Structure 1
Amino acid sequence: MNNKVKVLFVALALGAGFFIPSLLKHEPSADVDLTDYCMLSQQVCEQQGVKMKVDAPRVTPLTPITVEVFWPESEAPNLNISLQGKEMNMGVVKYQLEMIKPDVYQGEIILPVCAEDSMTWYGTVSNGDSDIKAAVRMTAR
């Protein structure tokens, strides 16, 4: 077989191996049902006995907001929050909330800027033993 044809086949195989997985990958975030999530706002949201809220009336990009979580009988020194975008894939952002008194955790989160005017971030709040589903709606204006 001609060397040029061999090189062409190798290039095609490498290209296919690089691009096909991303083309076939199903984007799970578009299918997420947010009714299962505790939507964070200034109003207390409760899920499985865990209460959560934020201190801001509106969540905007690059603006720190304080998240407060009341998790009864949790002995973890901190909670982990993991969030990802629903409308746009921007990776996963992770934060920690520190215990400020027994069963009460607090910390600041700052959500990144995205190209859309609004975006929903969804994920989990975890004490290491169990996870609570949480989401927050961010608007640019």
Structure 2
Amino acid sequence: MPSVAKLLLLVIALGGGFFASDILHWFSTKNAKISLDEYCLITTKSCTQDHKTVQADKDTSQPLVPTVVEVDWPESSSEQLLISLQGYEMEMGKVVFKLDKNANGKFSGQVILPVCTTEAMTWYGTITDGAETLKTSIRMER
């Protein structure tokens, strides 16, 4: 075997070994689908998880149309909550929205989801006050 081929095989073997954990992690997260059963679906019917309640002004959101989300988080001393969502059926990055505390002690704000190429999509993620989190999801349809 020529020296160039040996050197090339050595570089490939070293590179594969160096990046092996990253490659395995990428394949394991790509193929591992989460279960949405443990996520609170945001609809007009309130969903409660650990004494925290979340509700929206509509059952399904539409792309680029605001959906008002209201959260009752009694034990939070925070002045705002953050909703962080990502696509379930397809990767579209992560979107983050802020919910502000209103006069009655509940948090509310608007969620405006981006346009995607499919007719319907589920967004899942968390609502957090910085100390605790609530797993949540929202359904979007055109």
TM-score normalized with structure 2 length: 0.80
Q: Hey, what's the Cα distance between the residues in 2 that align with 1:86 and 1:77?
A: 29
1:31 aligns with 2:25: no
Shift of 1:6: 7.4
User: What does 1:116-131 correspond to in 2, within 5 Å?
Assistant: 116-131=118-133
**What does the per-residue CA deviation read over 1:20-51, in whole Å, with 9 as the maximum and x for residues that have no partner?**
5796352266233x110110001111111111
RMSD between superposed Cα atoms in Å: 2.7
Shift of 1:103: 3.0
Q: Hey, what's the Cα distance between the residues in 2 that align with 1:81 and 1:46?
A: 16
Q: Tell me, which stretches of 5 or more residues in structure 2 are unaligned? A: none
**What does the per-residue CA deviation read over 1:89-130, in whole Å, with 9 as the maximum and x for residues that have no partner?**
111100100001253000011001111111110110001110
Q: What is the identity percentage for the equivalent residue pairs of Structure 1 and Structure 2?
A: 36
Native 8 Å contact 2:63 2:113 kept in 1 = yes
**Off by >4 Å, runs of 4+ in structure 1:** 20-23
Q: Hey, what's the Cα distance between the residues in 1 that align with 2:68 and 2:11?
A: 53
Q: Tell me, which stretches of 5 or more residues in structure 1 are unaligned? A: none
